[in-house]
Amino acid sequence: MQNFMINLSEDCDTIKLSPENLMDCFDCGDSDLNDFFNRDALLFQNQSLGQTHFMRHRATGKIVCAFSLSADSVKTFLLSGSRKKKVKDFIPHNKSLQSYPAFLIGRMGVATEFGGQGIGSQLLRYVRFFAMQKFPEIARFLVVDAYNKPEVLTFYQKNDFAFLFTDEKQERENLKKGADIDEPLHTRQMFYDMQRQE
């Protein structure tokens, strides 16, 4: 583990994945995500299925973290009354829609050597800034299919993401996976309102 503090926006360059700027040995501790960033992300990008960026520490040249974004939506017509209200809490009543534009954080990871030091939380704030700066007024929400693991769900909750569905049963019903099956969902849908007033 490295022994210096990193401020992502001041100490790192944001680099778009390209044939000239590839990631090849990024390790965030999750093999699926590693495979995606090191092998598949450019193929997805070439098919307009998501744009990937990584953040490289200027002083050491190390890749600190990476994320990929694509277009999505929060489909409030699928939600119960109280969940719908939670999503629309900060949106004026007369701007009510059936479905709200969103950026999907398709993948994100922090390199293991930089884990547990607040980089992931900084990255979520940076992604919000990045989305609003690069694509202003395009989308209201950030959404993520978060790994259904306590530490990952806590991570997003600590960063003000909320569950779209109250519980796994509701989410299963929506996904038509059968509400009675005990097997846990692999991911949980979570959202964040980029314009919410604190």
Ligand X SMILES: CC(C)(COP(=O)(O)OP(=O)(O)OC[C@H]1O[C@@H](n2cnc3c(N)ncnc32)[C@H](O)[C@@H]1OP(=O)(O)O)[C@@H](O)C(=O)NCCC(=O)NCCS
Q: Which residues bind ligand X (CB under 6 A)?
A: 28-30, 33, 108-110, 115-121, 144, 146-147, 151-152, 154-155, 158
Q: How far is the CB of 187 from ligand X (least distance, A)?
A: 7
Residue number, 39 or 158, with CB nearest to ligand X: 158
Q: How far is the CB of 132 from ligand X (least distance, A)?
A: 20
- Name the nearest CA neighbour of 128 among 119, 139, 117: 139
Residue number, 29 or 98, with CB nearest to ligand X: 29
Q: How far is the CB of 118 from ligand X (least distance, A)?
A: 4
Closest residue to ligand X: CB criterion: 120
Residue number, 159 or 170, with CB nearest to ligand X: 159
Q: How far is the CB of 82 from ligand X (least distance, A)?
A: 25
- Strands 100-110 and 141-147 come out as parallel
Q: How deeply is 12 buried, as exposed, middle or buried, from its count of CB atoms within 10 A (0-12, 13-18, 19+)? A: buried
- 107 vs 26: CA distance, rounded Å: 13
